[in-house]
Amino acid sequence: MAMMRLRREDPRVVGTFRLHRRLGAGGMGVVYLGSDKRGQRVALKVIRPDLAEDQEFRSRFAREVSAARRIRGGCTARLVAADLDADRPWFATQYVPGPSLHDKVNEGGPLSPAQVAAIGAALSEGLLAVHDAGVVHRDLKPSNILLSPKGPRIIDFGIAWATGASTLTHVGTAVGSPGFLAPEQVRGAAVTPATDIFALGATLAYACTADSPFGQGSSEVMLYRVVHEEAQLAGVPDALAPLLASCLAKDPADRPSTLSLSLRLKEIAAREAHGPSGGPLENGAGAGAGWQRAERRPPDRPTGQRAEEYARQRTERRTAGNSSPRPHPSRPPASHDAVSRPSGPASAAGKSPRRTGGRTVRRVPAGRPAGPGGKRTPVRTTSGGRRPGPDRRLLRQRVIVFVVVTLLVALGIAAAQGCQGPAHGLGVERPAPAAPAWGADGPYGAGGQNP
């Protein structure tokens, strides 16, 4: 919002607020930027001196304050303080940072369908709170909508009409802004919530085309077009054109309700945000508001066989990524899955590999750094003993195999020797060994002496 320096005739203090800048001026008075002793910033509106003595105008101003007090919702500026009995009546509302919708479109051009629908949905919810309080704004237009970081805000209830209040206008007179007035306002008929729906439709059409749906011209020409001619929506996107056309119907009964309009605009905003035209507002609108983002819908989750395949692939990627875990500096890492081939020493040693996605996964105990020769050293357990590593288990298996083979060989030899015993029982006699050639005295002669 553009700010201007205070002029010489402007007050410096109003009530308990110190004034700093001018925010703008309207038909009723001037709006200032002020702050209280705690530093809270407010938008303070003071009616003009020439209107301060007009009782009719004071009544209208009091009605604006009463309407602001009755409205509960986050789409309007909250009333902070007011003084209706002062020489120049005033009231202060919460200051809303951010440009008006008029300035945003005038400087940056038309908005995308997703942005227009999101803004319209938020404004519809705000009007729903206004209408539930028994208030009709009667002057909804782009310059009375501020785009704050938390969402659009409706301001300036200067000519708002509350239920039970008498109208301050006469038949044939129009109060409001030409091009955004409803036909019943131009005729001087009673206003209803449908009056604000017409103004909102014209406002959203302006956001789409950067122009009023009834063109440009003098006040008389604009008011005539509002009553007798159809709105021009040639530049409005196809997603919004039918809905805005229903909002701009001449008969208030043909316009959608506030709640219905809010729901339909939300649907359009959600649908358009996923298309190429959706995009967040920038330059003053802020990126924190949900109505400003063109959020992308997350991809659909696979089901059935696709879900199983998707889960299997994720398991394989996680398994492969954990094959070389980084050790923690203070404690040994947990065991992890390592990928290996089904053949080789691990398979021969009985490591019981398991299959995962066409590859063999074996459990490798953690905390065993490779030692000399590529062998792993055993890890001490909490009880102080040693837990056998893969090399000890392999050695044990080899010893067992060696003992079994040795026993089998020994049994085979014993069986072969035992087969010769039964041959003597069959009467087969073995020839006696031949006597040595040196005689009965042995090789050394009689007495064991060598001859």
Cβ–Cβ < 8 Å for 154, 126 = yes
Q: Is 129 left (phi over 0), alpha (psi -120 to 50) or beta?
A: alpha
- At a CB cut-off of 8 Å and minimum separation 6, what does 313 contact? 357
CA 47 to chain centre: 45
* 54, 139, 300, 337: the active-site residue: 139
| The residue to which tokens 């909490």 are assigned | 382
Strand partners, 91: 45, 82
Radius of gyration of the chain (CA): 48
139 is catalytic: yes
Cβ–Cβ < 8 Å for 175, 160 = no
DSSP readout, 54-74?
-HHHHHHHHHHHHHHHH--ST
Give the DSSP letter of residue 419.
Answer: T
Helices (runs of H) and strands (runs of E) counted in the chain = 12, 13
C-alpha 8/C-alpha 10 separation (Å) is 6
Residue 90: how many other CB atoms lie within 10 Å? 24
Strand partners, 22: 4, 32
The residues annotated as belonging to the active site are 139
